[in-house]
Structure 1
Amino acid sequence: MSTQVPMTVKGAEALREELNELKTVVRPRIVADIASAREHGDLKENAEYHAAREQQGFCEGRIQEIEAKLSNVQIIDVTKMPNTGKVIFGTTVTIVNCDTDDETTYHIVGEDEADIKKGKISIGSPIARGLIGKSLDDVVTITTPAGNVEFEIIEVQYI
């Protein structure tokens, strides 16, 4: 039994674009590279051939991985939900550190979409797990490498 993979609309779109790119651009290029390398003769000592075959293996593996994720995807579009102030998958949350008054905004997304530099954190991250289910103005304690830190949720956006 397969488990559902939660994903935002943008995350699913990005995966579909990557899949299309792999199938229509990368795969044909690798096939052409293999054909070209075969023309050079002896395959045992043909580095270009072996490199192209290795690329082909990575490409096919990534195609299978994306197709598997897309077949089990559960797209969650928070823009179509009423904003109740509750932190759920797909929301954008602004929190403030109760000790330092540092303000941070995170978008809670699926594992494939996470990019801390863009403020996107995985649903499985300690911060997201600590925020899920909480509401606007709640104070949450999140365990960090530096110890427990208290944050107050000051904004929850369904965007």
Structure 2
Amino acid sequence: MGLFTSAPKAGDKDIPEGNHIKIETEKGEILIELYPDSAPNHVANFKSLAGKGFYDGLSFHRVIAGFMAQGGDPDGNGTGGPGYAIDAEFNDRKHVRGTLAMARSANPNSAGSQFYICFGPQPHLDGQYTIFGQVIEGMQAVDDIRQGDVMTRVSVLP
């Protein structure tokens, strides 16, 4: 069982303000712009988890060269999450270099806390996964991520 029992939603009072995320890693800092207009509940979920320190100390448990780096699993093996799932918010955004999207199982409505950042364009994923942000600074740090690297802190910026 995860830490939480229900998914945060856009408009919830305890969601941190701001639409930028800073991910501090062993390889450097990554600044991400979030897309609340495209995926409001995914943005609210990510901000809520980040604001509660959920991601701090977690690793990138799945890294595939040329494809993506995936993190956000408290179990560190691709099976864990926050204890709830959120419904998909598929949108017209494209999987390009630096895209931030939510990982999920075969069930489209199974996203929780795991996310991935694309190393390059991944058009085969367009419309299949919820895109909710884009790296705007620190792409070199993303490129340098290796499996097992740790997110020391993930914070919401105003």
Shorter-chain TM-score range: under 0.3
Q: Which has the bigger relative contact order, CA under 8 A and spacing at least 6?
A: 2
Which is richer in helix? 1
Q: TM-score, normalised by structure 2?
A: 0.22
Q: TM-score, normalised by structure 1?
A: 0.22
